[in-house]
Structure 1
Amino acid sequence: MQKKLILNADDYGWDKDATAGILNLVTSGKIQNVSILANHCTAAELQNIQPYQSSVSTGLHVCLNAGMPVLKTSSSSIQHESGAFFSSKELFIKALTGKVTYKDVYNEINAQYTLLKDAGIEVSHADSHQHLHQYPFLSSMITQALHEVGIKKIRNCMPYSIYDTRRIIVAGFCAGTKNNLRKFSSPDVLITDFTNKHFNFNTQVPELLKRLNTSSYQTIEWMCHPALADRQGSYLQRKNEYDFLMNCDWDELLKELSIGLSKYSFL
């Protein structure tokens, strides 16, 4: 049986360089899965991606840890008094100490989901900013809210390659929260190597694909963060990812492998 490879571009809406880069890849037919930051997108940005529903699976990139919420409220357990979201660390500590309510999590996720639906975007799947939906103490609330709004497919954040502190922590979080994904369909594993600043796109992508071809995984998601330019202070190789994806010939890379490109909507 041919394995499915889901190339998913995260962070549509995050900033102008990410949004423009992802839209270029979509219009060029280079990417078939996109995750949208609803609370960062303008109406025009949503309108620009909407016409590509037939060729692209569009997902909700749940964000409860950066920027302002979609739902405007004077008081919430997931926001500062200023109205901005807590950081990931702050939100985790609040959840750990029982100070985050499910009602606030659900209401904001529902508002983000509804914003996309009202813009004419069919939401095929969900993931989250900085893998928040697999954080201990937050995962059960976020996944339950996603289930309630009608999401049926979700990212499994378990990294295929585990070789540094960040990936060890993520793997631990995923192991502890994997039961929360049971009500969803998910890929078997997540490729996160594009975020490794030492990753060589030209030599290591073919090597990684060959290893995946002989692995036991049948459905593989490859996480991407392409953009026209890097973001100051970020570890992401956004410009390198964009250049690689724009110029990559996947047919050539996969021609001798039992792997085919796929979409979340086919999961």
Structure 2
Amino acid sequence: MTGVRRLIVNADDFGRSTAISAGIIRAHVDGIVTSASLMVRHAGAAEAVAAALGHPGLDLGLHVDLCEWEPVGEEWLATYVVVDMSDREAVAAEIAAQLERFRELVGADPTHLDSHQHVHRDEPVRSVAMATAAALGVPLRQTGAIEYCGAFYGQGRRGAELPEAITPAALAGLIRELDDGVTELCCHPATEAESFTSYSAERPLELLALCAPDVRRALREAGVQLCNFSQLHPASRSAR
């Protein structure tokens, strides 16, 4: 590796619950998280934004929330559906509503866009999300020059436990293997496990890894620079 390597560590699900939001703030203060994606539909969103006000170095993006699916045996079953994702007009209206709610809560535009369970990878959500990001002048996950790393995740595709993927050693290994350029690493920390999601016991383990001294050491030794989205796109910096 001869070029500059920069890493955005983005925590999804900010505002989903008190434990998740507290875990993200702790992972920013005591760990390596530089950015968070806010779920504006949930009751904890306002509390999360209030907590973030004291941490201006933590970017806030919009985590577009249209549905959630959980693995049950060999199937994936919906736990909630916000909008028919085959209906482009309905999708566009919902994303616009969530963006407006974000602005009401934060007092600024998001520094980046992504989506819950990556629903923006498929049409028509993809093109609507891309148009929204373009209008805002901010990145949309997995659509631009920023490399995406989703390997720091404690479950397999059908919910099989993968605790070895979220240890400090695993995270340090991912850091050492980063390519030149900018990478976004996704994470889902929380201060405690909660029953409303199947990705539960893994969240406190992620928090431990994100705050581990060995991970900081790996960053220093590899010469990887932590950054956030607004440092790459100054025009998107929040006014909060």
Q: Which residue of 2 aligns with 1:7?
A: 9
Report the RMSD for the aligned CA atoms in angstroms: 2.6
1:228 to 173, 179, 191: 191
Distance in 1 between the 2:166 and 2:110 partners? 33
Letter of the aligned partner of 1:195 in structure 2?
G
Q: Which residue of 1 aligns with 2:207?
A: 242
Distance in 2 between the 1:189 and 1:30 partners? 16
Distance in 1 between the 2:53 and 2:99 partners? 14
Counterpart contact for 2:36–2:61, Cα < 8 Å: yes
Distance in 2 between the 1:234 and 1:117 partners? 30
Query: Residues 234, 151 of structure 1: CA spacing in aligned structure 2 closer, same or farther, 3 A cutoff?
Result: farther
Q: Which residue of 2 aligns with 1:46?
A: 49
Counterpart contact for 1:9–1:225, Cα < 8 Å: yes
Q: Any residues of structure 2 matched to 1:30-179 within 5 Å, and which?
A: 30-40=32-42, 41-52=44-55, 54-66=56-68, 85=82, 91=84, 95=86, 100=87, 102-119=88-105, 120-148=107-135, 150-156=136-142
Q: CA deviation at 1:122?
A: 4.3
1:142-182 CA deviation, whole Å, 9 max, x = no partner? 3223434x2521111xxxxxxxxxxxxxxxxxxxxxxxx3x
Q: Which residue of 2 aligns with 1:170?
A: none
Give me the TM-score of the superposition, normalised by structure 2.
0.75
1:207 to 159, 168, 173: 173
Give me the TM-score of the superposition, normalised by structure 1.
0.68
Distance in 2 between the 1:201 and 1:9 partners? 16
Q: CA deviation at 1:111?
A: 1.8
Q: Which runs of 4+ in 1 moved over 6 A?
A: none
Query: Residues 223, 84 of structure 1: CA spacing in aligned structure 2 closer, same or farther, 3 A cutoff?
Result: closer
Distance in 1 between the 2:167 and 2:31 partners? 20
1:102-139 CA deviation, whole Å, 9 max, x = no partner? 33222221221222222224411011000011124431
5+ residue gaps, structure 1: 67-82, 157-180
Query: Residues 151, 244 of structure 1: CA spacing in aligned structure 2 closer, same or farther, 3 A cutoff?
Result: same
Q: SS of the counterpart of 1:110?
A: helix
Query: Residues 264, 195 of structure 1: CA spacing in aligned structure 2 closer, same or farther, 3 A cutoff?
Result: farther
Counterpart contact for 2:209–2:215, Cα < 8 Å: no
Distance in 2 between the 1:110 and 1:186 partners? 25
Q: Which residue of 2 aligns with 1:75?
A: none
1:214-244 CA deviation, whole Å, 9 max, x = no partner? x4x4111111000012233514510100122
Q: Which residue of 1 aligns with 2:181?
A: 218
Which stretch has the larger CA shift, 9-18 or 107-116? 107-116
Q: SS of the counterpart of 2:146?
A: coil
Query: Residues 26, 205 of structure 1: CA spacing in aligned structure 2 closer, same or farther, 3 A cutoff?
Result: closer
Aligned residues: 209
Q: Which residue of 2 aligns with 1:19?
A: 21
Q: SS of the counterpart of 2:138?
A: coil
Letter of the aligned partner of 1:153 in structure 2?
P
Query: Residues 29, 192 of structure 1: CA spacing in aligned structure 2 closer, same or farther, 3 A cutoff?
Result: closer
Query: Residues 188, 29 of structure 1: CA spacing in aligned structure 2 closer, same or farther, 3 A cutoff?
Result: closer
Does residue 193 of structure 1 match 2:196?
Answer: no
Query: Residues 7, 246 of structure 1: CA spacing in aligned structure 2 closer, same or farther, 3 A cutoff?
Result: same
